Amino acid sequence: MTKAKDGPGAHPPHPTPRERADRGRAARKASPRSAHAEFAPATGRPDPVDLIEEQSAVRVPELVPIRYGRMSESPFRFYRGAAAIMANDLAASTPDSGITAQLCGDAHLLNFRLLGSPERRLVFDINDFDETLPGPWEWDVKRLATSLVIAGRENGYPAKERAAIVRAAVGAYRTRMRAYAGMGNLAVWYDRADMEELQAVAAGRLGSRGRTRLGRAMAKARTRDSLKAFGKLTRLVDGERRFAADPPLLVPVDDLLEGVERHRFVRELHGLVERYARTLSTERRHLLSQYRFADIARKVVGVGSVGTRCWVLLLLGKDDEDPLILQAKEAGESVLAAHVGASEYDNQGRRVVAGQRLMQAVGDVFLGWDRVTGLDSVRRDFYVRQLHDWKGIVDAQIMVPRGMRVFGELCGQTLARAHARSGDRIAIAAYLGSGDVFDRALSEFAESYADQNERDHAALVNAAATGRVTATPG
């Protein structure tokens, strides 16, 4: 009698590294690397202002003019809020290799930041995952490349400098992906960008001013925590800590609602903390249980996110000077979903959390999700995280070309690690190859798409000038 197999042979074998590399090289035939240089708006391309207004239709009406005002300020600020427009263009007008990874969905350069690890080390990683979904890995790289061109234009860099910056960033993505292709799974998973180590490496490439700015950014990031936010955003009211009103950017719940309506909503957000805690691991749930609820306020955040429902929750621990400030942010359907398919998760907050946990090397210990009934009695999905956890950013507007080149390379390497954790790193590396064909192609694409972004920005500015939309400056 033959014994049934119950070992590895009982399941279909994984493709070998050779087979995965062959798949990547074969993808070049269907989608040549040089073809990524091309961008032309698709026939029947939607009006960009229409796309922005479609998003605004489901947002808090009184906050939408702030969004338009911020997006109108400059082409780069417009780009930060135009992920849906670019997703439509990438799907309609650009080639891809057919190889997928978990995407950030909005990988512009300001979404790469200094963050605090649970071990209290300063690291560099992707920060924003509102649009995360699996999709063509090239889309994230193209969004990063274009952001570097747009920022370079605003800084007055000549075209040659901008092209060199993009090629360096994309080249860093390519070479790091090829390194990951040769590494074991655990080695890829454990890799992270420790800022102390990166600072030492970057020191030889940055001038004295650049090194000083990097050091200051790192020092400032370490001060951006719940204690800093506590001092800035709260005040004593009748002996108790409350959020300080700064309308319309920060509005305490007492200023939004009163009576039975206020009581119902506060109870709902109390319930959010209790329910969301179930999405945390046991030890983190225990840590959260040591805090008590103190206050709630509505907060305006970012550029593209303005108008989405975002609440900040003040919790107090050991005493009234031991704060934890959580941010509960609305999670709608990803802008990528119309092009790559809906999320496997029925809660959009869970989609964001799952994508963040997959792509980030280290994560917020309080990251979780829930579903909440809002002021308008509509149930919406939210994800929850700390408002500040050593978050810091290097100001792109004061970078010299050399500094932006180093920064772009770091972003490219970080994005490669995020994609290597979720996608077929061997196939992607084989597709990219050892030459700079893809790097050069994306420097051309990024300039073309930056031109399109300027036209779209001008369309929004004109819409505000003619009264089609209302934009609040500042």
Domain boundaries, the chain: 15-221+395-465, 226-386
pLDDT digits (tens, 9 = 90+) for 36-53: 999 999 999 999 999 999
pLDDT digits (tens, 9 = 90+) for 166-175: 999 999 999 9
pLDDT at 277: 96
The helix (H) or strand (E) run that includes residue 462 is: helix 437-465
Q: Confirm if 119 and 126 have CB atoms less than 8 A apart.
A: no
Q: Which residues pair with 370 in a beta bridge?
A: 382
pLDDT at 159: 97
pLDDT at 319 > cutoff 70: yes
Q: Which residues contact 315 (CB under 8 A, 6 or more apart)?
A: 273, 291, 292, 293, 294, 323, 324, 325, 326
pLDDT digits (tens, 9 = 90+) for 61-97: 999 999 999 999 999 999 999 999 999 999 999 999 9
Closest CA to 76 of 149, 26, 135, 128: 149
pLDDT at 362: 86
pLDDT digits (tens, 9 = 90+) for 380-415: 999 999 987 666 677 777 788 988 999 999 999 999
Q: Which residues contact 391 (CB under 8 A, 6 or more apart)?
A: 113, 114, 115, 116, 127, 221, 224
Q: Which residues pair with 115 in a beta bridge?
A: 123
Closest CA to 59 of 254, 247, 302, 243: 302
How far apart are alpha carbons 393 and 181 in whole angstroms? 30
> Helix, strand, coil: what percent of the chain each, to 5?
55, 15, 30
Query: Which burial class, exposed, middle or buried, applies to 31 when counting CB atoms under 10 A from its CB (0-12, 13-18, 19+)?
Result: middle
Which of 343-352, 361-370, 460-469 has the least mean pLDDT? Answer: 361-370
Which of 112-126, 209-223, 259-273 has the least mean pLDDT? Answer: 209-223
Average pLDDT over residues 350-366: 95
Confidence (pTM): 0.92
Pairwise pLDDT comparison (121 vs 142), residue with the higher score? 142
pLDDT at 2: 42
Phi/psi of residue 131, nearest 5 degrees: -105, 10
pLDDT digits (tens, 9 = 90+) for 426-454: 999 999 999 999 999 999 999 999 999 99
pLDDT at 184: 97
pLDDT at 301: 87
Which of 77-86, 189-198, 313-322 has the least mean pLDDT? Answer: 189-198
Q: What are the distances in angstroms from CA 5 to CA 2, 11, 12, 13, 432? A: 9, 10, 13, 14, 39
| % pLDDT > 90, the chain | 74
pLDDT digits (tens, 9 = 90+) for 275-302: 999 999 999 999 999 999 999 999 998 8
Give 122-183 as a DSSP string.
EEEEE---TT-EEEEHHHHHHHHHHHHHHHHHHTT--HHHHHHHHHHHHHHHHHHHHHHHTS
pLDDT at 3: 43
How far apart are alpha carbons 324 and 288 in whole angstroms? 9
- Cis status of the peptide bond prior to 323, with omega within 30 of 0: no
pLDDT at 11: 61
pLDDT digits (tens, 9 = 90+) for 196-224: 766 766 666 776 776 677 777 777 777 77
| % pLDDT > 70, the chain | 94
Q: Which residues contact 199 (CB under 8 A, 6 or more apart)?
A: 214, 215, 218
pLDDT at 12: 67
pLDDT at 260: 82
